[in-house]
Chains A and B, each alone.
Chain A
């Protein structure tokens, strides 16, 4: 298969010493960075028509390159938009260019703000998702599972498995992630036992998450795919929202994902999180400090009032300090739990949801979507109650099982 052309629209990558990392990341997943050609006249005209005239010339060039793509003067399959972290002018242009491209093209887009420390590995999942969206269009269009297939999601906090048969869930299991392969084997065995079938009965296996390559190789999976596209498919399948638009929010143990989808296929996404204070891991720490099980945290938070407690740190260590101080000041654990959920939701809203245009409905998924207080806090933040589908923590596994069945038909 020829390389997927990813148009790079950026400012500062060469001078930050990270251009080769971007190109390496794309090359590793079968993509190739390309740079839309524009002339001097194109730049002046594009900036005029765009209606935003940044002072920095390289940002003007970004606008002209976006316009070349939108006008069809340059051919690409996907777009990577990046500017320096902490550059206000760059952030404005990055966001407006992303909006412009989404209004004028159907190209999948990912935005990124980088520092000089960016390494190719940090971009791999994003680049792989861009390539997947283009290269596996037909597979991603699959809305119904067939045969008997398994999906395994090897996440940073938990490993999940799900068995599907003829579009129905017949087995599922999860465990905290320990040794990657052993955890995967454990949940797969449990899910198979629940389903009452043997490993040999499986007609397909789809693997996603951080441990996907190791597990996929060992189990000879027919689908090894990053979690952005796999989880999106799982989310819309579980929520029965395969058609139309939606926003998927997945607050994970290590990183958060915000994905906009059209007919179940992502067209824009952000992934990451600057600090642990905005992650599921922080809520685990809070639960531990409050001496409650993580499964009880949501119900506690539902009874509390977040506004009574000052907690809004980006850093989990400082967040726990706020928690300790609040408890010492006599606040109830309900209020503290509510404040922790609010703090995570607020940071996801401030850091990540600003990088995409939120589309209704919002589907909240992942293990943290089982924490009702967090779902409520996200709903307060975005102004509408998120849909939390049944088995919402199994999105990756469900997506893996659904998509891997795409290889069965036509065999």
Chain B
């Protein structure tokens, strides 16, 4: 199944989803396209005015452009998702979208979609880490 992960650029969550036999909806590929496409004109990250306009599907015109631009990248992945894993209270080095407002909107859209969703806390020590991995494993295996 296609699994949306939150934070969407978490390498650890990406790896766990892949390891347990599912397809992580990868933001890394989305962003890579936007960095390497030669015809694009806005390096280092090629989000264009067209993208930001696409973001209107997810947030109204009164919402800051940075939120709409981010939603233009991540929103379609949520649309595609068949299940999701949300991790709360993560340090930003674990992965982030840079903007907390976008995080809130993404989580809301996932919950609203009513797909199978696992919400876990970022582990503070090894023991909690093991429990978290166990929960994720059980969730992903249950999806099969």
Contacts and interface: CB of A to CB of B under 8 A. Distances in A.
Interface of A: 11-20, 40, 43, 54-58, 60-61, 83-87, 89-90, 114-117
A368 to B, nearest CB: 31
Contacts of A57: 92, 96, 98-100
Contact of A58 (B49, B93, B98): B98
B2 to A, nearest CB: 23
Contacts of A14: 42, 44-45, 47, 69
Given A17-B69, A116-B69, A87 B45 contact: no
Interface string B97-128: 01111000000000000000000000000000
B86 interface: no
13 contacts: A11-B98, A12-B65, A14-B45, A17-B42, A17-B49, A17-B65, A18-B65, A40-B93, A43-B92, A84-B65, A86-B62, A115-B65, A116-B49
B87 interface: no
A56 B42 contact: no
A8 to B, nearest CB: 12
Among A16, A55, A114, which residue has the most Cβ atoms of chain B within 10 A? A16
Most buried by A among B43, B68, B96: B68
A20 to B, nearest CB: 4
B63 A15 contact: no
Nearest to B49: A17
Contact of A84 (B53, B64, B92, B100): B64
Interface of B: 41-45, 47-49, 51-53, 62-70, 73, 92-93, 96, 98-101
A58 B64 CA distance: 14
Contacts of B101: 56, 87, 89
Given A19-B45, A20-B42, A12 B100 contact: no
A116 B93 contact: no
Given A18-B42, A60-B92, 6 more contacts: A11-B99, A15-B47, A15-B65, A56-B99, A58-B99, A115-B65
B70 A15 contact: yes
A115 B67 CA distance: 11
B49 A117 contact: yes
A11 B66 contact: yes
A16 B100 contact: no
Nearest to B48: A17
A266 B96 CA distance: 37
A233 B89 CA distance: 51
B47 A17 contact: yes
A54 B92 CA distance: 12
B97 to A, nearest CB: 8
A15 B96 contact: no
B99 A12 contact: yes
Contacts of B63: 86
Nearest to A86: B64
A17 B92 contact: no
Among A19, A56, A89, A90, max chain B CB count under 10 A is at A56
A56 B98 contact: yes
B51 to A, nearest CB: 6
Given A17-B52, A60-B92, A89-B101, A12 B64 contact: yes
Nearest to B95: A57
A61 B99 CA distance: 11
A15 B93 contact: no
A284 B73 CA distance: 45
A43 B93 CA distance: 11
A113 to B, nearest CB: 9
Contacts of A85: 64-65
A11 B69 CA distance: 12
Given A14-B47, A57-B96, A87-B101, A19 B42 contact: yes
A54 B62 CA distance: 21
A292 B109 CA distance: 56
B92 A116 contact: no
Contacts of A12: 64-67, 69, 98-99
Given A15-B47, A15-B73, A114-B65, A20 B41 contact: yes
Contacts of B66: 11-13, 15-16, 83-84, 87, 90
Contact of B64 (A20, A40, A55, A87): A87
Contacts of A117: 49
Contacts of A18: 42, 65
A86 B53 CA distance: 16
Contacts of B49: 17, 116-117
